[in-house]
Amino acid sequence: MYYFKRNFRHFTLFFLIITLAIVLVGCNNEESTEEPTLNTKLTDKLTLDQDYEGKVYQTDRIGKATLVKCTDGDTADFLSGGETISVRFLDVDTPETKGKVDPWGPAASEFTCDKLTNAKTIVLEGRDKIKDTYDRYLGYIWYDGRLLNLELVELAYSKATAVSDDKYGDLFQEAETKARLTKKRIYGEKDPDYDYGRTKVTLEYLRTNIEDYYGKNIEFTGIVTRKLGPNPFIEADGFGVYIWMNYKTTSKFKVGNEVKIKGTVTMFDIGESYQINGVTKSTITEISKDNEVEPRVVTFDDITKDMEGSLLRVNDLTIINSEVSGDARNIYVKDQDNKEFMIRIDKAVSSKFEEVVFNKGAKIDIIAPLSSFKGEFQLMLCEVEDVIFK
């Protein structure tokens, strides 16, 4: 009987130990399977350890500032020491919103601008090297006692960049490690406001990098400057592009209309001018009407590849020849330096010019978008009023 009781007690104790172990393992497993979440614990704990009253950032490496303009997620203009300066945020690199738009770029920009716009106090903190190789100011941005740069990393709007020797380097690396584990935002989460089927670009970025976008789907905004039949030239900030509508017409492409367009970068022919194709009425959004359209005044020597699609004005030309080319017409002119150029009246608009006489020796000014054919530039005349006879 004693032997039975003793063994029963041992068995009971053993059972309790096993049960407790199972419970503890279960708790540990529960903790280990819990998904990491974004938080700002590091930013919450960090405080600015320098006095900034009465100091100026440009000379003292710290000082109060006032927001002038938000640029994007990691750049803004501030008024500091009576001077407006552009500051690139240290140790961060948020997704792009200028030139082209990357996933989470607009969200990062909105977050940054919201914090700075509503801040009561903004302090710029610099390091020994206050400018980069592009002569841009560099700084840590404190708003109401919080380090915005670090917060952007904690919330997965940016990775930590080039932080190994920086004052807050260890914190930035820790923030990135924790944010990366969440797989949120830039670490794998889809941006609900981004069209992953298309790259958003400005016309300047597109025109100066257009070879990189051949065959790709893009989205951009610009103003209609001229039309060749149903096909418009779209321009923004002095950079333009030609839209091939494949004989489809739409009232959205009225000269002066600002539009947002989704299309595909193609070529007129292999090795020829780039253009935008695949545009339909459903991929055009009209933004505004009756915008002012002014050509850029240039000489023939000024013309470069980046101007293709832009509306130009060239003055003081002399007609040296005019010839019919199928349903179109070519007008050959020279400038005061005897440099020759061709003006093309395409068949899409040739009927408008049936009554216009291009006499040899006539003096004219021309307003027209720039194009190219077989490696040669040409001006694409679209409206009768764009030929100004002297």
Most confident of 133-137, 214-218, 233-237: 233-237
Which residues are CB-contacts of 354 (< 8 A; sequence separation ≥ 6)?
A: none
Burial of 89 (0-12, 13-18, 19+ CB in 10 A): buried
Measure Cα distances from 246 to 207, 230, 252, 309, 345 in Å: 22, 8, 16, 18, 19
Is 185 one of the catalytic residues? no
- 194 close to 227: Cβ distance less than 8 angstroms: no
- 336 close to 357: Cβ distance less than 8 angstroms: no
What is the topology classification, in CATH, of domain 44-187?
Answer: OB fold (Dihydrolipoamide Acetyltransferase, E2P) (2.40.50)
Output DSSP code: residue 162. Answer: S
Q: Is 270 helix (H, G, I), strand (E, B) or coil?
A: coil
Chain-centroid distance of CA 179 in Å reads: 25
Share of the chain above pLDDT 70, in %: 90
- 62 close to 142: Cβ distance less than 8 angstroms: no
- Which amino acid, one-letter code, is at 306? D
Task: Give residue 33's pLDDT band: very low, low, confident or very high (50, 70, 90).
Answer: low
| Bridge partners of residue 236, in order along the sequence | 239
The whole-angstrom separation of Cα 315 and Cα 341 is 12
In this predicted model, which residue has the larger pLDDT, 326 or 317? Answer: 317
Burial of 19 (0-12, 13-18, 19+ CB in 10 A): exposed
pLDDT above 60 for 160: yes
In this predicted model, which residue has the larger pLDDT, 196 or 288? Answer: 288
pLDDT above 60 for 24: no
- 207 close to 372: Cβ distance less than 8 angstroms: no
**Average pLDDT for 290-314:** 97
Is 146 one of the catalytic residues? no
- What is the model's pLDDT at position 11? 47
Could you tell me the two tokens for 12? Answer: 């009971």
Measure Cα distances from 308 to 208, 237, 303 in Å: 10, 13, 9
- 105 close to 95: Cβ distance less than 8 angstroms: yes
Q: What is the pLDDT of residues 358-371, one digit of tens each?
A: 999 999 999 999 99
Sign of CA dihedral 81, 97, 214, 327: negative
Share of the chain above pLDDT 90, in %: 79
pLDDT above 70 for 354: yes
Could you tell me the two tokens for 350? Answer: 């040739």
pLDDT above 80 for 25: no
φ, ψ for residue 121 (rounded to 5)?
Answer: -135, 130
- What is the model's pLDDT at position 4? 41
In this predicted model, which residue has the larger pLDDT, 20 or 181? Answer: 181
Spot the catalytic one: 34, 83, 88, 258.
Answer: 88
The whole-angstrom separation of Cα 390 and Cα 377 is 24
- Which amino acid, one-letter code, is at 371? S
Task: Give residue 273's pLDDT band: very low, low, confident or very high (50, 70, 90).
Answer: confident
Is 296 one of the catalytic residues? no
- 184 close to 176: Cβ distance less than 8 angstroms: no
Q: Is 301 helix (H, G, I), strand (E, B) or coil?
A: helix
| pTM (two decimals) | 0.73
Task: Give residue 2's pLDDT band: very low, low, confident or very high (50, 70, 90).
Answer: very low
- Which amino acid, one-letter code, is at 191? D
The whole-angstrom separation of Cα 135 and Cα 113 is 23
The whole-angstrom separation of Cα 158 and Cα 165 is 18
What would be the CATH architecture of the domain defined by 199-288?
Beta Barrel (2.40)
Output DSSP code: residue 198. Answer: S
What does the mean pLDDT of the chain come to?
Answer: 90
Q: Which of 361, 349, 359, 360 is nearest to 385 (CA)?
A: 349
**Average pLDDT for 156-170:** 90
Spot the catalytic one: 110, 136, 180, 286.
Answer: 136
How many other CB atoms are found less than 10 A from the CB of residue 363? 13
Spot the catalytic one: 61, 96, 146, 226.
Answer: 96
Instruction: Indicate the range of 124-138, 226-240, 275-289, 310-324 predicted with least confidence.
Output: 124-138
- What is the model's pLDDT at position 13? 47
Could you tell me the two tokens for 167? Answer: 């004052």
pLDDT above 50 for 8: no
Q: Which of 208, 232, 201 is nearest to 307 (CA)?
A: 208
Class of domain 296-389: mainly beta
In this predicted model, which residue has the larger pLDDT, 268 or 60? Answer: 60
Task: Give residue 136's pLDDT band: very low, low, confident or very high (50, 70, 90).
Answer: confident
**Average pLDDT for 240-266:** 95
